[in-house]
């Protein structure tokens, strides 16, 4: 019963990982003027990605010191996701299976 639930959690963490990566790449493209934010579609995608990721970043931004223009919260969230996917979820699965 718990293994399918862990698979769903792993899938959701994987989706969050890719959303953060896509947001980072898109923000770099905007910063280097490769993508124009005057385009409605680009602006809507940026807004949607920001609305999805901001609840993940907010607690980390409260704890981390201010680095000026650099925002390390996406990197910290990616690190947390990888730790969850590679250490925590397999440990829960092993304990659920009794191995």
| Count of helix runs (H) and strand runs (E) in the chain | 4, 0
Going by pLDDT thresholds of 50, 70 and 90, the confidence category of residue 67 is: confident
Going by pLDDT thresholds of 50, 70 and 90, the confidence category of residue 12 is: very high
pLDDT given at position 1: 76
Q: How far apart are the first and last CA of the chain?
A: 16
Is 90 exceeded by the pLDDT of residue 69?
A: no
pLDDT given at position 18: 97
Q: What pTM value is reported for the model? A: 0.88
State how far the Cα of 99 lies from the Cα of 34, in Å rounded to an integer.
51
Q: Which domain holds residue 54?
A: 2-97
Cβ atoms of residues 23 and 53 within 8 Å: yes
Q: At which residue do the structure tokens 């959303």 appear?
A: 19
Q: 40-63 and 73-83 are packed helices; what angle lies between their axes, rounded to 10 degrees?
A: 80
Is 80 exceeded by the pLDDT of residue 17?
A: yes
What is the tally of structural domains in the chain?
1
């Amino acid at each position: 019963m718990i293994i399918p639930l862990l698979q769903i959690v792993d899938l959701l963490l994987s989706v969050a990982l890719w959303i953060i990566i896509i947001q980072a790449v898109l923000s770099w493209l905007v910063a280097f003027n490769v993508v124009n934010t005057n385009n409605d579609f680009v602006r809507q995608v940026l807004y949607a990605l920001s609305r999805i990721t901001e609840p993940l970043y907010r607690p980390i931004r409260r704890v981390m010191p201010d680095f000026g223009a650099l925002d390390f919260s996406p990197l910290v969230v990616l690190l947390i996701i990888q730790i969850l996917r590679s250490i925590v979820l397999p440990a829960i699965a092993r304990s659920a299976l009794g191995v």
